[in-house]
Structure 1
Amino acid sequence: MLILLIASLFGLLLLGVPVGFSLLGSSLIAILAQGTIPLQAIPQRLALGLDSFPMLAIPLFILAGTLMEAGGITKRLITLSEVLVGHIRGSLAHVTVVSNVFMSGVSGSGVADAAATGSALIPSMIKRGYGKGFAAAILGASATVGPIIPPSIPMILYGSLAGVSIGKLFLGGAIPGLLMSGSLMIVSYMIARKRGFEKRERARLKEIIKAFRDALWALLMPVIIVGGIFTGFFTATESAVIAVIYSLIIGLFVYKDLKIKELPKKLLEAVSMSSSIGVIIAASAPFAWVMAYAQGPAKVLAMFQSISDSTIVALLLLMLILLILGCFLDGMAIIIITTPVIMPILAQFNIDPLHFGVILAINVMIGTITPPVGTLMYVAISIAKTSVFQFTKEVWPFFLVLVLLLAIFALFPQLVLFLPNLLMK
């Protein structure tokens, strides 16, 4: 039954069936083949898959990100990034990375960050001779940081499934996210020097102060969200509500770039993006249930125990499996499918679920820039109007440094656990 479940999933994916319907279809095939499980188990599990208060934060953060982009927050964060790092060779590549760092503190979605910053920066990069492939590659790679620096939609999903504090997961992603961004800037600088990319004059102090003042309200948002969660004033879901209200107030009454007549369109955009994620979350629930019924977690645990009793070997093997899955599955689906299977392995090998949750989020985000299914890859190449081949050709240095950092975070847990242990004992 387990083999049929997995084989039918990949068979449907290879046929081009959308991820959510592939998960649902493979569950149905396995249940029909088993013969004794009632079919009403599928709609029951579909409903249970979405019946979660923490998961309510996902559509709310998506809505907040949509409102912020329309409310002028994105363009002010890009302007701030330009005055801070525009003087470094390969200026727009660094602006892209830093803009995504700032955006990651407000939306929690890599796709939303890439769409917002890419539409503004990629045309400028192409115009200045960076090349379509490189422009798409640096956008995709830098957007992987979006769900690592808090808030984070993947961490909300994992935390609700694994029973791990979402506030601690948010804090755990801060240091890795900043290290990832810094490393991407180093790689960008090396490529810029080799190819002779332009650099701009250093901004004057007056320009920096003005950019900070204009972006202040945008910069306050992650402080309010993360600060409120780890001090216990509100939960992750309540922080998402605050993010929506905050973005509405700032967009309508402070920056005044958001118009009331635009609200229905922005709501529809958020609903469209949320529903696509919701279908995957709902469809993953019966898939995970059938896998548990077929004793998938126990069989995977037995396989790991037969390979090695080393915690490091088990952790690195998990990372390798997740990287491979990231080439073929959406990140949300990977988290939902693998979390119930992996939890017994974490307990058996004494791996901290908090530590693993952060590196799991990094892992699935790296998968978003790998063909053939990488969502960030497709967002970037659609904006840059380039090909998967050109993207892959340019993204590999960024991919390699991200995988190296993933291994470092896996081997040195304190890089993840330092802030949660310091601020949320």
Structure 2
Amino acid sequence: MKPVRLDELPLATHDALGHALPEAANGPIVTQTTPQRGWLARIDRGLGWLVEVPAALLVVADIGVLLAGVVARFVLHSPLVWSDELASILFLWLAMFGAVIALRRGEHMRMTAIVARLSPGGRALMEAVATCACLAFLALVLRPAWQHASDEGDITTSALEISNLWREIAMPIGIALMGTFAILRLLREANAKHIVTALVIVGGLCAAFWLGRHAFDDLGRLNLLIFFVGVAAGSVLAGIPIAFAFGLGTFGYLALSTGTPMSVMVGRMDEGMSHLILLAVPLFVFLGQLLEATGMARAMVAFLAGLLGHVRGGLQYVLVGAMYLVSGISGAKAADMAAVAPALFPEMKARGADEGELVALLAATGAQTETVPPSLVLITIGSVTGVSIAALFTGGLLPALVLGLILCAVVGWRSRGEDLSGVPRTPWKKNIKLFAIAFPALALPFLIRAAVVGGVATATEVSTIGIAYALIVGAAIYRQMKWRNLGRMLVGTAALSGAILLIIGTATAMAWGLTQSGFSGWLATTMAGLPGGAPMFMAVSILAFVVLGSVLEGIPAMVLFGPLLFPIARQLGINDVHYAMVATLAMGLGLFAPPLGVGYYSACAIARVNPDRGIRPLMGYMAALLIGTIIVAAVPWLSTGFL
């Protein structure tokens, strides 16, 4: 096939990564490096290189291992029994090294709405406080991480038959490296007065909690408010990176109000960060970058823009539809957003779309598509409650479509004043030409879905097929790939993935802490005793799952509360599939709603947008999704009509 030239397509040119960093980055404010601090900058660059090179190689290695597993199983009919185990080991190292790079670059997600309102001196002080808070958490968990790794060292892996220490040592090494870079950042970017003041503030708060530890013994569930609302949520609002804020709240609760060994918390973080299905996140992040770097994304968006570009809100409609279609590929929302956003956002920004509006819509579509199969949350519901997974998959399509139509109505309303006078309607002959150019790229989502449905690859492995396809088609047909940027793309993939996975890890530890508190059992008992029958139970369930979704991932929440609440719903005459759809959509609302919703910060990380920019536009979308969820709850047929 003749190579395709994209030079004349009516789209803006983007860099190899397909991203533009926001004007106000999510990390600390970078000051000019003085000559006296030049040696710190050199140390930082040297250590950074020692972390970035292995991180890039780990991305390549994980892709290679999973792709080899697919080829061996499907082509050679000789499965590699060790491929998943090796990929899991490499994945934890990738997650930790990526988190280190994200901290060094200041790319961990954080909420700075309040800090941004302070004077320059106040902002600089709060930046130092945030860095010291990160250091405090890292110092607190370093020893437990080493203890956890030592305990796991006596275990031999089943397939590779090596010590599990090779895997678990990634946690303490990554924590130590993050601490090192945090110290370097503090010394480079803060003056002596701010450093001392920040150390006094953070150290004083830690000391106050420790000295008053005996007071927490008799507070019962009030400790949940103190640590998970006061410490965790307060830290988020103070501008401390989300992952570290969650970690501080969880560590404080477990260490001061329970007798739990802290190595257990590290184990829960490990479990949350290294679940093999989450390996789809970095792989789809890299696939999204490849789509942009090879020119495939530009070709797809050129065709879609030709069809809908002259319509007000046209590309926003494309985003809603693309998330609905792509959601069934990986089952992980972060991976879905990573596959869609890099392909659409650059052109949408070039057309003048506000980046806050874009990330808000991306987060809203993430919540909207939680019930689209093969949703991991629906699979979890089926496994813990006994509900037919096939029925859940059938029932999940229409509710997500209803919410999608409501989002489109909001998009239409918000776009009513959009000026498209400079965007002419594309002639049909040109649209046909654009389709021919874009066809190899447009075939990718269908190829990926066919591979999953046909059993060629799992939801985790399928991204490697997409990567191989993108590399081959991009090199042979589009020829836009600048190979010198490959290393930067791999490092960027690791950093973004590490930032997301560390949030998931600390959120998983928080979920475990809530379980140990007895909060889940108390909630189920309270809801079972509510007056008003099924309507009241459904209304309270929506509220409860919105709250749970904001502090837990969907899977841990359903593991904790599904076996407790589904029998109550069944006794009240509520269909299992109907209740599953309402619970899943409500959890999606909480998962993508700030200030605690992990999904929202994942969307901001993927879109490279400061979280502050998307909060206001997101509220309108969240209200629309809540209305849609209430409609699904009130009309059972939407969930059960095709069963």
TM-score range, shorter chain: 0.7 to 0.9
Query: Offset at 1:369?
Result: 6.9
Who is 2:101 aligned against?
none
1:265 to 485, 488, 499: 488
Query: Offset at 1:302?
Result: 0.7
Read off the aligned partner of 2:349 and give its amino acid letter.
I
Who is 2:627 aligned against?
404
1:95 matched to 2:319? The reply is no
Q: Which runs of 5+ in 2 are unaligned?
A: 1-219, 328-334
Query: Offset at 1:191?
Result: 4.5
Who is 1:340 aligned against?
559
Q: How many aligned positions are there?
A: 402
Read off the aligned partner of 2:293 and give its amino acid letter.
A
1:203 to 423, 426, 434: 426
Counterparts of 1:403 and 1:151, CA distance in 2 = 15
Which secondary structure state, in structure 2, belongs to the residue aligned with residue 235 of structure 1?
A: coil
Equivalent residues in 2 for 1:4-403 (5 A)? 4-12=223-231, 13-16=233-236, 17-88=240-311, 90=312, 93-99=313-319, 101-102=321-322, 105=325, 108-110=335-337, 113-114=340-341, 116-125=343-352, 132=354, 136-137=356-357, 140-141=360-361, 144-146=364-366, 155-156=375-376, 159=379, 163=383, 174-193=397-416, 195=417, 197-198=419-420, 200-308=423-531, 310-323=533-546, 333-335=552-554, 338-343=557-562, 344-350=564-570, 362-363=585-586, 366=589, 372=595, 374-375=600-601, 388=613, 392=616, 397-403=620-626
Query: Offset at 1:189?
Result: 3.4
Counterparts of 1:33 and 1:222, CA distance in 2 = 49
Read off the aligned partner of 1:26 and give its amino acid letter.
G
Counterparts of 1:231 and 1:154, CA distance in 2 = 13
Q: Which stretch shows the higher mean deviation, 398-407 or 144-153?
A: 144-153
Change (3 A) 1:201 1:192: same
Counterparts of 2:518 and 2:229, CA distance in 1 = 19
Counterparts of 1:150 and 1:339, CA distance in 2 = 13
Read off the aligned partner of 2:527 and give its amino acid letter.
F
Query: Offset at 1:366?
Result: 4.6
Who is 1:129 aligned against?
none
Counterparts of 1:345 and 1:162, CA distance in 2 = 14
Q: Which stretch shows the higher mean deviation, 271-280 or 227-236?
A: 227-236
Q: Is the 8 A contact 1:110 1:147 kept in 2?
A: no
Who is 2:142 aligned against?
none
Which secondary structure state, in structure 2, belongs to the residue aligned with residue 184 of structure 1?
A: helix
Counterparts of 1:335 and 1:154, CA distance in 2 = 14
Question: When the two structures are superposed, what TM-score results if normalisation uses the length of structure 2?
Answer: 0.53
Query: Offset at 1:283?
Result: 1.9
Read off the aligned partner of 1:125 and give its amino acid letter.
G
Query: Offset at 1:98?
Result: 0.7
Change (3 A) 1:207 1:148: farther
Question: When the two structures are superposed, what TM-score results if normalisation uses the length of structure 1?
Answer: 0.76
Read off the aligned partner of 1:145 and give its amino acid letter.
T
Q: Is the 8 A contact 2:294 2:478 kept in 1?
A: yes
Counterparts of 2:441 and 2:224, CA distance in 1 = 46
Query: Offset at 1:301?
Result: 0.4
Which secondary structure state, in structure 2, belongs to the residue aligned with residue 234 of structure 1?
A: coil
Change (3 A) 1:379 1:364: farther
Which secondary structure state, in structure 2, belongs to the residue aligned with residue 279 of structure 1?
A: helix
Query: Offset at 1:272?
Result: 1.4
Counterparts of 2:640 and 2:481, CA distance in 1 = 39
Counterparts of 2:298 and 2:391, CA distance in 1 = 30
Counterparts of 1:405 and 1:244, CA distance in 2 = 36
Read off the aligned partner of 2:352 and give its amino acid letter.
M
Read off the aligned partner of 1:141 and give its amino acid letter.
L
Query: Offset at 1:418?
Result: 6.8
Q: Is the 8 A contact 2:294 2:481 kept in 1?
A: yes
Change (3 A) 1:413 1:191: same
Query: Offset at 1:236?
Result: 1.4
Counterparts of 1:43 and 1:139, CA distance in 2 = 31
Q: Is the 8 A contact 2:280 2:461 kept in 1?
A: yes
Read off the aligned partner of 1:303 and give its amino acid letter.
T
Q: Is the 8 A contact 2:367 2:592 kept in 1?
A: no
The share of aligned pairs that are identical, in percent, is 21
Counterparts of 1:159 and 1:309, CA distance in 2 = 31
Which secondary structure state, in structure 2, belongs to the residue aligned with residue 40 of structure 1?
A: helix
Q: Is the 8 A contact 2:293 2:480 kept in 1?
A: yes
Change (3 A) 1:290 1:86: closer
